[in-house]
Amino acid sequence: MVKSRLFFSQQLTHRPAWLLMLVLILGVWAAATMGAVTITWSDWLAILQGDDEPLSGGAYVLWHLRLPRILFAVMIGAALALSGALTQGLFRNPLADPGLLGVTSGAACAAALTIVLLAGSGIEVPVALRYWLLPAAAFAGAVAVCFILDSVARWLTADSIAGLLLTGIALNALAAAVIGLCTYLATDEQLRSLTFWTLGSLAGANWALTTALLVALILAFWALRRLTHTMNALALGEAAAAHVGVNVRALRVRVIMLVAVLCGFAVAWCGMIGFIGLVAPHIVRLLVGPDQRRLAPLAMLVGAILLLLADTAARTVAIPAEIPVGIFTALLGAPFFLILLARMRRGS
């Protein structure tokens, strides 16, 4: 697939990519200068010098809180947008979203179950583990949903994508019911922990997470290189994709696992952040068309910009308070979604 590999790297150097890249870099710069604590040039210098002196004041906030959070927002936005682009390509449906598959609610469901059941069973969890327990559960939930999704859909309806979609809807309903049950059973204290998963927040960002996500994104990007062109063939329909030599089943498993990893990571550390996965691929489709080889990397850029925008607004609109980021992604996303539906109606 040398040709498509060439193509893939070529696309990034095309004009929209450069433009978006520039917007993103400016956005990161602007976001770094905005916030409750005033950052001065000497703070930047203190970071850049990198001596052994512990950082203080604005430099501490910049290095330990603001920069990791900004980069985290950028990468979570890219991850959400990529999983959205992949899901839409897989289902040949521009309205598909990882939420539709049940991946997001599967992750939240696992977290809710962990909160309520573990507390109910009275098992003492060491403090050191508690920090990791919920994210690990959410991640496991996302992967488990994908696994169930794939095996059930394959067993029920052979290789049909409609079957997969319907299974996703059923799993979504199931997860929603379990979350509802957990909410009912939860004590007030447990409810507080549950709230986090529904609100969505990037407040948990730190350098360790940012690095982990960067590695995950680089791996995803590498896997993508081979997937995107064969995903274009899916647009012909499953049968025709097989006729031109695409192993649809293997492709589906790979795409689903990729979506699970990206979504699991995002939900595990940031709760449920909606609309990015839906909106970013659409903006790119309007910009450069539906070719997955261009769509996937550009959607990552757009998703990064959108979430950075939303999170910066969430951080700075009500200083020193913070507004849930989900409100801003919905404010950006919902009107766009409606315009999209209107366009589709006019188009048909």
Partner 1 sequence: MLTLDDLEKTVKPLPRRHFLTQLGAMMTTIALPQLALANESGKKVARRIVSVGGGLTEIIYALGAEKELVGVDTTSLYPQAATKLPSVGYARALSSEGILALSPTLVLASEDAGPPTVLRQIGTAGVPVTVLSANDRFEGVVERIQRVGALIDRSAQASQLENQLKQDWQRARAPIIARKTPAPRVLFILSHSPGQVMVGGKGSSADAMIAYVGARNAIEGFEGFKPLTPEAVIAAQPDIILLTEQGMSVVGGVDGVLKLPGLAQTTAGQKRRVVALEAMFMLGFGPRLPQAVSALDQVLTKAMQG
Partner 2 sequence: MSHSHTSATELLLFNQVTVALGKRQFGPFTLSIQPGEQVAILGPSGAGKSTLLKLLARELTPASGQAQFEQRSLHDWSLAELSRRRAILPQSHEVAFGLPVDLVIGLGRVARTYDPQLSSIVQQAAEQACAAHLLGRRFDTLSGGEKARVQMARVFAQLWDVEQGLLLVDEPLAALDPGLQFSLMEAIYTFASKRGHAILAILHDINQALQGFERLIFIKHGAMVGDYQTPHVTLPLLEALYEVRLASAVTDTGEVIVAPSLKQKISA
Q: Which does 233 bind (CB under 5 to 8 A by kind): partner 1, partner 2, none?
A: partner 2
Shortest reach from residue 111's CB to partner 1, in Å: 10
Q: Give the per-residue contact string, 238-277, with partner 1 (x = CB under 8 A; - = no).
A: ----------------------------------------
Site for partner 2 in 278-307 (CB under 8 A): 285, 289-291
Q: Among 232, 258, 303, 307, which residue interacts with partner 2 (rule: CB under 8 A)? A: 232
Q: Give the per-residue contact string, 85-104, with partner 2 (x = CB under 8 A; - = no).
A: -------xxx----------
Q: Among 70, 112, 153, 246, which residue interacts with partner 2 (rule: CB under 8 A)? A: 246
The DSSP 8-state label assigned to residue 97 in this structure reads -
What count of Cα atoms within 13 Å lies in the side-chain half-sphere of residue 195?
7
Closest CB to partner 1 among residues 166, 199:
199
Where are the alpha helices (H) located in the chain, listed in sequence order?
A: 2-13, 15-33, 41-49, 57-60, 67-91, 98-101, 103-113, 119-121, 127-157, 161-185, 188-199, 207-234, 238-243, 248-270, 276-288, 292-316, 325-347
Q: Among 173, 218, 318, 338, which residue interacts with partner 1 (rule: CB under 8 A)? A: 318
* Torsion sign over Cα 283, 286, 289, 290: positive
- What's the CA dihedral at 178, 183, 186, 189 to 10 degrees? 140
Instruction: Based on the shown chain and the rule CB under 8 A, indicate whether residue 320 belongs to the binding site for partner 1.
Output: yes
What is the distance between the alpha carbons of residues 196 and 178, in angstroms, rounded to a whole number? 17
- What's the CA dihedral at 123, 125, 126, 132 to 10 degrees? 170
Site for partner 1 in 32-61 (CB under 8 A): 35-38, 40, 42-43, 54, 56-58, 60-61
Contacting range for partner 1; rule: CB under 8 A; set: 123-131, 146-154, 163-171, 250-258 = 123-131
Q: Which does 229 bind (CB under 5 to 8 A by kind): partner 2, partner 1, none?
A: partner 2
Residue tagged 């993508």 (tokens): 224
Closest CB to partner 1 among residues 163, 204:
204
Cβ count near 248 (within 10 Å)? 18
Site for partner 1 in 186-225 (CB under 8 A): 187-190, 192-193, 195-196, 199, 201, 203-204, 206
The DSSP 8-state label assigned to residue 262 in this structure reads H
Q: Interface with partner 2 by CB under 8 A: which residues?
A: 1-3, 92-94, 229-230, 232-237, 239-240, 242-247, 285, 289-291
